[in-house]
Chains A and B, each alone.
Chain A
Amino acid sequence: MISKQFISRLGRQSQKFSTRWQSTSPFAAYEMAPLDPIIGLNEEFQRDDFPQKVIVGVGAYRDDAGKPYVLPCVREAEQRLVDQKLDMEYSGIAGDQKFVDLSLKFGYGEDSGALKEGRIQGVQALSGTGGLRVFGEMIRRHGHKHIYVPNPTWGNHIPIFQNSGLEVRKYRYYDASNSSLDFDGMIKDIQDIPAGSCVLLHACAHNPTGMDPTLEQWKQLSELFKKKQLFPFFDAAYQGFASGDAILDAASLRMFVDDGHLLGTIQSFSKNFGLYGHRVGTLSVVGSNAEEAARVVSQMKMVIRPMYSNPPRHGARIVSTILDDPKLKSDFYEQCKGMADRMNTMRTKLRDELEAVGSTRNWDHIVKQIGMFAYSGLNKEQVMEMRSKHHLYCTADGRISMAGVTTGNVSYIANAMHDVSK
């Protein structure tokens, strides 16, 4: 430790030295950065002593007992990996090729024409965040100055793209006044986006609102993007985890590919495979031909090498093992659906409980929304009151993680929500 006495002793020895050293730590002036709103919530929750405290903040699935859930097919895959005694050699900048191939099939469809033509290629990424960052850096190096994201969007999108050197612009998306998709506003704003711009789309289960376009609306968007020559970039974090049907959850992405768009996609395996902490994802592009897609992948590698060199193996090996084995794969689809079904059941329960405790507000949006989050419509003051009075923790925008709702706590949650909003 550097004590003040020590420093002033140095000062007496050498005047020149002590002025440079500023008589204090080189870091004395560094301020405390603000807590990440989502992850910081968890820390606050941990510090709360209240025995009935509930957190419905971070997007990690919990079972009906409120416990983390590791998919049985994941455990089985891990057991097989341990038994195989694989090595831990570097996997290459683009990661595990078998994993990438299997994940592209999972995302784009086994029968995807574009995939069979070799037009879709990608790299293993550090889950969603890592893939978004690599993509952002890459397009910025290739002349992009802006990226368009829905308003609202996942909080971390903004710093990811800003740190990539892009200016983040928003298009209208959500109508908070009636808790629904503002499709008119969305179309109008997208029409004004300059040709060639990159536009981020949530493939399904929009985070934080849970409101997705219908298939017809997606079709309109696809045409509009074509007409305006916009460059779509899909964030696919919930395939299989939103509706329980992995094919349905990929419909928007596959529609755009079938419609001939050239686009980028980041697939995360954090939620659907429950591999959160293993940081597993795939960043891919659909190019006009295989040679072009290969060129783009080579540019992704240029971003990756000075960032982390190559991705971690374990999570990707788990996904590969599962997707490559018919029985494990079918187990996966079932177990993933199980998670989605439980969350959808809780949506209905929560809405029903809110009615039962006498709330006269319309909570139908909770049931209409899809995926892990319910965008409750509660404002910041109400959220803070829920924290202090009811020890119920959700993010300040009123986003509730349905994964944290259980039969054991749903009444408590409904009571708290009603109490602050009546």
Chain B
Amino acid sequence: MTIVPHYETLVISLLFCVTQAATFSAATASVWSKVETGPPDAILGIAQAFRECQDGRKVNVCVGAYRDTQGKPWVLPTVRAAERKLLENDDPKDYLPIEGDAGFIAEAVKFAYGQNVDLSTVAAVQTLSGTGACRIGGEFLAQFRENKNIYIPTPTWGNHWKIFKECGLETHPYRYYDRSTNRLDLNGFIEDLEAAPEGSIILLHACAHNPTGCDPTLDQWKRIADALERKGHVAFFDSAYQGFASGDAERDASAFRYIADRKTIPVLLAQSFAKNFGLYGERCGTLSMICSDEEERQRLLSQLRCVIRPMYSSPPRHGSSIVKTVLSDSQLAPQYYEECATMANRIQAMRELLVKTLAEVGSTHDWSHVSEQIGMFAFTGMSEEMCDQLTKDYAIYLTRDGRISIAGLNDSNIRYVAEAIHAVTDGKSITGN
């Protein structure tokens, strides 16, 4: 027996619906009425402010994306070549497996761990760049670790905290950078590792620490590794700049390779191809875990799939197809390494020029920390007030922690930026802020 009303009442109720449609939302509280506006993302919000700014002098040293000498985005020629190849070869568009493109994953793992890595000891899945890798890794750890504490360096990329909290991990800071010296606080770091409960997860930046650019030396990594080992901690590396930091992809991988090679510390690696391949918006990365053997690898993969499938089913194929095409091609691969080095070299040159120009325009501060820092960012030591002043008075957009994206500097704007930094810091402290 159906519940369909008689025809007449159907007509009447239809008329009712039509006349009431306009007032429907008033008659019943909207399902959305209690929803508040979410706060804007700190970094992306500043990028938006830059876009909306009308000041002709404006400089964007905020978002971490590479810019060429004209201040424009740069798509690597090998990436362009790979895209054309994909089109010529009628690359299909079928779903990738849940864990991603096997060929891409193999190339990515070799890129990270070395060409001779035993692939059966690395359980790896394709992810949506670094964010996706951190999320998948974090969800996995939250599911399977009894000790769900994760320790995150201070400072770090802002999104780390949000990601790991969402995973259900218990987030804690560990001391990393000392603003009173603008250098690594190694003793604080080690103390906090020792104080953490045994078997905690420690988030480590593989190289070019974001935002400080301050990395441990190899000797310092040894001491860190000793502490990780003593406490049975898990090392969760975030590698967003391999090749892009020093220009040497092998060198930029040395920290996590060293720790993995010790074979006594469980290692996870979140790998991003956003910067080093310039594939930002195509969301290309991997999450990998070192494991004992192929059988274990299969078990781990099966569990990682269970995290991925109810999140987005399978990863996007364009970026991974590009990376696979480049790294597996005997001509494109070496050309790629050169192109990546080009980016790193330009940034390094700008870094040196910034410090030189600061001196030239009369700054008497010790900017040596900026000279020593690695990667795309200069962690200047400026206070929030100085940063706000840079933005308000000089239309220079940076994050309020004093982080400048050096990729945004070029010959046309570097003097202006140096002068502005000098103006807001002259006679004030750039330590202890």
Contacts and interface: CB of A to CB of B under 8 A. Distances in A.
Interface stretch (B172-180, B279-287, B327-335): B279-287
A24, A87, A196 interface centre (most CB from chain B within 10 Å): A87
Contacts of A85: 75, 80
Contacts of B229: 17
A61 to B, nearest CB: 10
A25 B65 contact: no
B188 interface: no
A10 B292 CA distance: 16
Nearest to A311: B283
A322 to B, nearest CB: 14
Contacts of A292: 30, 32-33, 35
Interface stretch (B82-90, B215-223, B363-371): B82-90
Contact of A68 (B79, B94, B97, B234): B94
Contact of A288 (B33, B266, B296, B311): B33
Interface stretch (B298-306, B347-355, B412-420): B298-306
A310 interface: yes
Given A226-B24, A260-B25, A312-B319, A88 B31 contact: no
A26 B229 CA distance: 13
Interface stretch (B126-134, B244-252, B374-382, B389-397): B126-134
B4 interface: yes
B39 to A, nearest CB: 8
B38 A299 contact: yes
A307 to B, nearest CB: 6
A220 B17 CA distance: 11
Given A88-B279, A260-B20, A288-B32, A315 B318 contact: yes
Interface stretch (B159-167, B189-197, B202-210): B159-167
Contacts of B310: 129, 133, 156, 159-160, 162-163
Contacts of A163: 310-311
B97 A314 contact: no
A412 interface: no
A50 interface: no
Interface residues of B, number: 92
A92 B291 CA distance: 35
Chain A: interface size category: 35 or more
B49 interface: no
Contacts of B311: 129-130, 133, 160, 163, 307
B131 A307 contact: yes
Given A20-B232, A127-B313, A260-B17, 13 more contacts: A2-B263, A34-B302, A87-B75, A159-B310, A216-B4, A223-B17, A262-B31, A278-B316, A287-B32, A295-B37, A308-B135, A311-B283, A312-B283
Interface of B: 1-4, 10, 13-14, 17, 20-22, 24-25, 28, 30-38, 41, 44, 63, 65, 73, 75, 79-80, 83-84, 87, 90, 92-98, 118, 121, 128-129, 131-132, 135, 144, 159, 162-163, 165-166, 198-199, 229, 232, 234, 263-264, 266, 278-283, 289, 291-293, 296, 298-300, 302-303, 305-306, 309-319
